[in-house]
Chain A
Amino acid sequence: MTAGRDLLAEVLRAAGARAVPDRDDHDVVFQAAKTAWQRSLRAQRRRRWTLALAAAAAAMAIGVTSLVHRITARAPVVATAVVMHGSVVTRAPKGDTWRPLRLGEPIAAGSRVRTGSVAGLALEMAGGLSARLDEKSELEMDSDRSLRLTSGALYVDTGPVPAAVALRVETAHGTVSDVGTVFQVEVRPTAVRVRVREGLVQLDAAGRAGRLRSGAGEEMELDDRGNLRRGIVPPTHSAWAWAEALAPPPDVEGRPLLQFLDWVAHETGRRVRFEAPDVEAQAREVVLHGKTHDLTPLQALDVMLSTTDLEYVLSADQVILIRKRSG
């Protein structure tokens, strides 16, 4: 105070009252937030329950192991379920009943997997590539390099180095094979659509269309009359969103931020750019801790950067710009 005046009070009075949100807005947001919170609590409990089950299984070394052994005894393992959303079922080779697939469960050659509505599945194939199945899809796995998509959509990331044996995805309308790439095959009743995010894909059409190729950022749709339609599908197009949501989380513990950024860029079809050299240097030095389970790549980036003084901006030219947080 000076000369008997309470200046602090005067400042506050001059500034006036802060804006207050409407009661309706409060109630709407409260309900949504509570639902999200309760959902996260349920997911947390499910994870604990899964861990408890895993511990019990390891301690007893019977039960689940013997069941899995029975399933896989006759055929080699071709894939492992690494991310699952919603209802996902599997059918053993030569089996005739469907049962729920478990997270982490090995899948034998000849098995089928099927996803329900609002569901998805990410598989780590025995050869190391990543395959993701959209909702309402069915896939038969002859081997880790030969898949048959009977309905729905399949996303495949074969990694940067082409394998000695190309991955083949058979559909009723033709066989799609990769040439070191990231692509998506969608089966429709009378057509097959192939979208390519990276690299090159070849479609050997079942009918008269013959051999067709599609490059990064392109899509082609071939119907059962042999009509071909080509189009553009940018790597950041919403058509890739379902596969991003199924991206298996990377192991970030003790890894540099730069490595994590590479993963986010790969999974979102974007490139990372740094605002300045010192920002890039910082990204090399920052070491990450924690987990990014159940997050999309951009949500995971949100969380990881929130503990640093860096932030990101998505630009229209498919760039993730990393910069110092403003202010």
Chain B
Amino acid sequence: MTPLHTDWALSRRIRAGDERAFGELFERFFPRLFRFALARLDGNRTEARDVVQLTFCRAFEHLGAYRGECSLYGWFCQICRNAIADRGRALRYELECLSAMEEDATLESILEALQAPASDEPENLLWRTELARLIQAALDCLPGHYGDVLEWKYVEGLSVKEIGERLAIGTKAAESCLTRARGAFRVALAEIGGSVDVLAHATEDAR
């Protein structure tokens, strides 16, 4: 099953009244959409919550319009973007930064950003912050729990066994999941023309 088939099937289950499917989608999308909105609303958490609430309400009311031709997360992101625009907030972020990557992982501009010289200039510090956010957004783009698995392992420092316990799967399956997650993350980075090596040097310089 491709990710699009999985998304389509999930939307059908929700439309059929499957409460577990509803919960699964909500728990998966809520934090990601919250971050998506937060980045576009100058970090205003209250506004981000309101926008995400409106996004979910609109999306669930009109889920029948989703036909599996794009990722379900991308579909939610489009609704979220329009909800932000409806509030009269100019999508400045959309114009200045690299938003589309959060929907389909086409991180075109990141390479250009990585090639900028490192210094202590405020704009470079800002760039570092943005770079970190882009990497986090790339995690949000990965299918299933891949983003979580990578964060648990490399940021929180969980062992493979502990990851397996969080996902309610065996250690072998968790290891396999971690390998696939690493591959998916590398693909996401490769799509922007950057490499993990370049990115690593850039972040190393920033430290």
Contact = CB atoms under 8 A, between A and B. Distances in A.
B30 A26 contact: yes
B15 to A, nearest CB: 7
Given A21-B45, A37-B61, 8 more contacts: A8-B186, A11-B135, A12-B150, A14-B207, A15-B155, A17-B155, A303-B62, A307-B70
A8 B196 contact: yes
Interface residues of A, number: 53
A9 interface: yes
Contact of B100 (A25, A34, A306, A325): A325
Contacts, number: 158
A281 interface: no
B49 A37 contact: no
Interface string B180-191: 001001100000
A52 B45 CA distance: 46
A21 to B, nearest CB: 4
Given A10-B204, A306-B70, A313-B85, A21 B30 contact: yes
Contact of A327 (B38, B61, B100): B100
A44 B16 CA distance: 9
Interface in B123-155: 131-133, 135-136, 139-140, 147, 150-151, 153-155
Contacts of A11: 135, 196, 199-200, 203
Chain B CB count within 10 A is highest, among A28, A30, A35, A292, for: A30
A10 B70 contact: no
Nearest to B63: A40
B61 A36 contact: yes
B151 A30 contact: no
Interface string A1-31: 0100101111111111111111001101110
A290 B79 CA distance: 17
Contact of B81 (A44, A289, A311, A314): A311
B43 to A, nearest CB: 9
How big is the B interface, by class?
35 or more
Given A10-B203, A302-B58, A303-B62, A19 B35 contact: yes
Given A33-B56, A299-B58, A15 B203 contact: yes
B49 A9 contact: no
A171 to B, nearest CB: 34
B22 interface: yes
A215 to B, nearest CB: 28
B101 A10 contact: no
Contacts of B75: 306
A37 B199 contact: no
A37 B15 CA distance: 8
B58 A32 contact: no
